[in-house]
């Protein structure tokens, strides 16, 4: 089911969108054609695809950045979905994307059976990720399975001396992974029970903010993201500028907007 603003699930290319980007008339850099170089099962519900191709001078957007993936369809056009730049090796021109296998949509169906040589394309540049502000001593992360690639990438970029407190909700404990970070990381792995994200909302309700300057990062289902936001801004009194929230998907919605930060509630 699509909501009215989200019917762009089938993307017919920049030329049919008018050539100029919709936002502020910005010229969108052309898409880049890539090809699957390798497929690896990281955990039972996470498939890693490394792609190579037209990636010269590609802007990777920094840790936890997101990009648009375009998958050609048999009848013409392409399906577009949002994914995280898990890693970009600029020297080798290799782009890594981790596909969670939870959704029941065309991109996930493709990722289940993707093979070396499959062709797709990516947006001309990635959208910026997350780097904590200057002086930040701690970061709290609330993420579900499909925001795990973003959290992994951000944790890898954090400096020593920073504290990262991470809550991840999975549907299956077999998907627990190791994080690499120079920061001091503590992780609570939660297993979904009830609605998606309920465990993250409950964890937020049982959490106090550490002392000193810090920030909160949220990436999960749209309703759960709003529940956590309300709590950290309201009960916990986090300043708005210290919050970085984004819906990574929405129950019963195809291709949910990557612009949904929950700020409509303010
Ligand atoms: C900034 C950003 C970064 C993202 N990065 C990643 C990433 O690195 N890896 C990744 O796996 N996903 C990532 N996602 C989520 C991904 O874009 C969605 O899961 C996407 O909808 C999957 O497309 P699809 O064609 O398989 O399903 P769709 O056709 O979009 O949806 C079909 C059905 O599946 C449901 N659904 C969609 N996503 C999920 C889910 N995650 N869990 C359960 N049900 C779901 C929908 O509600 C719908 O009912 C990211 C999203 C955003 C906004």
Mind spelling out the 3-state secondary structure of the chain?
CCCHHHHHHEECCHHHHCCECCCCCCECCCCEEEEEEEEEEEECCEEEEEEEECCCCCECCCCCCEEEEEEECCCCCEEEEEEECCEEECCCCEEEEEEECCCCCHHHHHHHHCCCCCEEEECCECECCCCCCCCCCEEEEEEEHHHHHHHHHHHHHCCCCCEEEEEEEECCHHHCCCCCCCCEEEEEEEECCCCCCHHHHHHHHCCCCCCCCEEEEEEEEHHHHHHHHHHHHCCCCCCHHHEEEEEEECCCCCCCCCCCCCHHHC
Q: What is the mean pLDDT of residues 153-159?
A: 98
Tens digits of per-residue pLDDT, 109-125?
999 999 999 999 999 89
Token look-up 């039972």 returns 44
Look at residue 26 in the predicted model and tell me its pLDDT: 67
Residue 130 Cβ inside 6 Å of ligand 1? The answer reads no
- Grade residue 1 by pLDDT with cuts at 50, 70 and 90: very low
CATH number for the domain formed by residue range(s) 138-265? 3.40.50.80
Residue 157: CB partners within 8 Å, gap ≥ 6?
Answer: 62, 63, 131
Whole-number Å distance, alpha carbon 255 to ligand 1 midpoint, is 7
Whole-number Å distance, alpha carbon 206 to ligand 1 midpoint, is 27
Rounded CA separation 197/228 (Å): 9
Residue 70 Cβ inside 6 Å of ligand 1? The answer reads no
Longest dimension (CA), the chain: 56
Whole-number Å distance, alpha carbon 57 to ligand 1 midpoint, is 27
Residue 113 Cβ inside 6 Å of ligand 1? The answer reads no
Tens digits of per-residue pLDDT, 47-76?
999 999 999 999 999 999 999 999 999 999
Q: Which of 7, 108, 224, 252 to mutate to test the pocket of ligand 1 (most atoms within 8 A of CB)?
A: 108
Q: What is the mean pLDDT of residues 209-220?
A: 97
Q: What is the mean pLDDT of residues 177-183?
A: 97
* pLDDT over 50 at 10, yes or no: no
Residue 79: CB partners within 8 Å, gap ≥ 6?
Answer: 9, 10, 11, 70, 71, 73, 106, 107, 255
- Grade residue 200 by pLDDT with cuts at 50, 70 and 90: very high
- Going from the C-alpha of 197 to that of each of 119, 223, 224, 242, the distances in angstroms are 33, 8, 5, 21
Q: Where in the chain is the domain with CATH 2.40.30.10?
A: 4-122
Look at residue 105 in the predicted model and tell me its pLDDT: 97
Whole-number Å distance, alpha carbon 170 to ligand 1 midpoint, is 14
Percent of the chain residues past pLDDT 70, beyond the cut: 90
CB 185 within 8 A of CB 179: yes
CA-wise closest residue to 90 among 55, 142, 44: 55
Taking the CA of residue 144 as reference, the ligand 1 atom at the shortest distance is 41
Whole-number Å distance, alpha carbon 12 to ligand 1 midpoint, is 20
* pLDDT over 60 at 189, yes or no: yes
* pLDDT over 50 at 128, yes or no: yes
Look at residue 28 in the predicted model and tell me its pLDDT: 79
4-122 fold: Elongation Factor Tu (Ef-tu); domain 3 (2.40.30)
Look at residue 175 in the predicted model and tell me its pLDDT: 98
Among protein residues, the one with the nearest Cα to ligand 1's atom 38 is 103
Q: Where in the chain is the domain with CATH 3.40.50.80?
A: 138-265
* pLDDT over 90 at 97, yes or no: yes
Among protein residues, the one with the nearest Cα to ligand 1's atom 16 is 82
- Grade residue 264 by pLDDT with cuts at 50, 70 and 90: confident
CA-wise closest residue to 262 among 218, 209, 207, 204: 218
Tens digits of per-residue pLDDT, 33-42?
999 999 999 9
Look at residue 27 in the predicted model and tell me its pLDDT: 77
Q: What is the mean pLDDT of residues 11-15?
A: 37
Burial pattern 185-197, b for ≥16 Cβ within 10 A else e, equals bebeebebeeebb
Percent of the chain residues past pLDDT 90, beyond the cut: 87
Look at residue 265 in the predicted model and tell me its pLDDT: 79
Task: Taking each helix axis as running N to C, give the angle between helix 222-233 and helix 198-205, from 0 to 180 degrees, rounded to the nearest 10.
Answer: 10
Whole-number Å distance, alpha carbon 259 to ligand 1 midpoint, is 14
Look at residue 29 in the predicted model and tell me its pLDDT: 82
């Amino acid at each position: 089911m699509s909501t009215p603003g989200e019917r762009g699930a089938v993307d017919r290319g920049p030329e049919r969108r008018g050539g100029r980007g919709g936002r502020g008339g910005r010229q969108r850099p052309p898409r880049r054609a890539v090809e699957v170089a390798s497929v690896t099962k990281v955990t039972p519900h996470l498939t890693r695809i490394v792609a190579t191709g037209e990636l010269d001078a590609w802007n990777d957007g920094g840790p936890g950045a997101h990009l648009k993936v375009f998958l050609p369809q048999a009848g013409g056009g392409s399906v577009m979905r949002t994914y995280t730049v898990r890693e970009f090796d600029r020297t080798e021109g290799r782009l890594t994307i981790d596909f969670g296998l939870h959704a029941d949509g065309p991109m996930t169906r493709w990722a289940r059976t993707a093979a070396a040589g499959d062709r797709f394309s990516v947006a001309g540049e990635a959208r910026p990720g997350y780097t904590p502000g200057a002086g930040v001593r701690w970061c709290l992360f609330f993420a579900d399975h499909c925001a795990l690639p973003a959290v992994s990438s951000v944790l890898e970029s954090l400096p020593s001396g920073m504290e990262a407190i991470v809550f991840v909700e999975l549907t299956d404990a077999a998907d627990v992974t190791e994080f690499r970070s120079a920061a001091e990381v503590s992780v609570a792995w939660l297993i979904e029970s009830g609605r998606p994200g309920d465990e993250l909302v409950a964890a937020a309700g049982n959490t106090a903010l550490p002392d000193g300057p810090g920030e909160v990062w949220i990436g999960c289902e749209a309703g759960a993201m709003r529940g956590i936001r309300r709590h950290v801004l309201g009960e916990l009194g986090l300043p708005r500028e210290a919050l970085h929230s984004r819906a990574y998907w929405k129950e019963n919605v195809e291709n949910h907007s990557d612009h949904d930060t929950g700020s409509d509630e303010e």
